[in-house]
Chain A
Amino acid sequence: MNKKNKIKIVVNGKVLTVNLKFSLKNLIEKLKTPINKIAIELNEEIVDKKKLNRIFLKNKDRIEIVHFIGGG
């Protein structure tokens, strides 16, 4: 495996190694999270969910994917 073709990203605090030219859409598909039930932040900026396939991840990108859980 050629390391040059890989990047490291941090998703919800966990380090993931993915291929170059990996888009946010690829990531959401990989994680199998239902897109209509989540919100995504890329480096602390909210991402427009309609543009996920056009956003390619870079090394050290920090992604937060959140949803609703029970709370008071």
Chain B
Amino acid sequence: MKLDVLKIANKNFKSRLIVGTGKYKSMLECSKAIKNSGAEIVTVAVRRVNITDSSKPLLMDYIDPKKIMYLPNTAGCFTSKDALRTLRLAREIGGWKIVKLEVLGDKKNLFPDMIETLNSTEVLTKEGFKVMVYCNDDPLMCKRLENAGASAIMPLAAPIGSGLGIQNITNIKILRKQTKVPLIIDAGIGQASDAVQAMELGCDAVLINTAIAKAKNPLQMAESMKYAVISGRKSFLSGRITPNLEGSASTTKKGII
């Protein structure tokens, strides 16, 4: 059987689950959850170094970027300028070229500002970045992002951290049909069945942070999401039966007494 790999910007990954590293109780818990999730890519944020206390533990002490790919993001950026600045700095830390662009437009629901997002995608792509783009589930804007050179289209299922699951299944289906680069559900996943659904719709991967980090048992939820993504993917690849309103007996009538 052909090996089923996820290919992003010419890099191959076995796992189709990307996890965020925010909101955990501790870095130790975060690193354990990542291990349980089987993720090969984790998102990380760029922030100021604590200059008054250098003894504080660093993320890199817990998650080895040589073993797990860091995907720098622009969390908290509301303008293209801030996002570009953040990702240029991220690249400088250690040569990261594959990045996650996220330009927010609304402080309350954290929806992306798609105009700033599209502009940033164009600039970053020209600068040689491989840009994975957090976006709305609007097929027209997603097409534009793809045309602008996005390395992955990452529509939200629902607002970031909301745990509402996929709200617009139709749009995700349309996106699946039109998208040539990896299509990754980013944001809004609440439970394992949401991740299964995303994969069954044919998405190439799922990005989860809050649903794992804020679960009562994050380590177990991480494992649950791992299997959900595998399960959903296999279900998608296996080709489901046609839904039918009538029943169809599983046992033959032949030999009935």
Q: Do A and B come from one complex?
A: yes
**Among A31, A49, A68, residue most surrounded by chain B Cβ atoms (within 10 Å):** A68
- A-facing residues in B171-211 (Cβ within 8 Å): 187, 209-210
A69 to B21, CA, bound (A): 8
- Given contacts A13-B48, A31-B54, A33-B54, is CB(A70)–CB(B22) below 8 Å? yes
* Sample of 13 A–B contacts (CB below 8 Å): A11-B51, A36-B94, A38-B93, A46-B89, A66-B48, A67-B49, A67-B59, A68-B60, A70-B21, A71-B20, A71-B75, A72-B22, A72-B23
Which 9 A-B pairs give the minimum distances between C-beta atoms?
A: A71-B45, A72-B20, A72-B209, A39-B92, A70-B21, A32-B54, A68-B44, A39-B89, A12-B48
A22 to B194, CA, bound (A): 55
- B-facing residues in A46-67 (Cβ within 8 Å): 46, 49, 64-67
A38 to B90, CA, bound (A): 9
Are A71 and B51 in touch, CB under 8 angstroms?
Answer: no
Are A65 and B20 in touch, CB under 8 angstroms?
Answer: no
- B-facing residues in A18-34 (Cβ within 8 Å): 31-34
Q: Output the least CB separation between A53 and chain B (Å).
A: 17
A residues in contact with B236, CB < 8 Å: none
B58 interface residue, CB < 8 Å from A? yes
- Given contacts A46-B89, A69-B45, is CB(A37)–CB(B58) below 8 Å? yes
Q: Output the least CB separation between A63 and chain B (Å).
A: 10
Q: Could you list which residues of chain A lie within 8 angstroms of chain B, going by C-beta atoms? A: 11-14, 31-34, 36-41, 44, 46, 49, 64-72
- Given contacts A14-B51, A33-B49, is CB(A72)–CB(B210) below 8 Å? yes
| Interchain CB contact (< 8 A) of B49 among A65, A71, A72 | A65
A46 to B191, CA, bound (A): 41
A64 to B94, CA, bound (A): 16
- A-facing residues in B72-102 (Cβ within 8 Å): 72-73, 75, 85, 88-94
- Given contacts A34-B58, A72-B209, is CB(A66)–CB(B49) below 8 Å? yes
B residues in contact with A31, CB < 8 Å: 49, 51, 54
In addition to A31-B54, A39-B46, 18 A-B residue pairs with Cβ atoms within 8 Å of each other are A12-B51, A14-B51, A33-B54, A34-B58, A41-B89, A46-B89, A67-B49, A68-B46, A69-B44, A70-B21, A70-B22, A70-B24, A70-B30, A70-B44, A72-B20, A72-B21, A72-B161, A72-B187
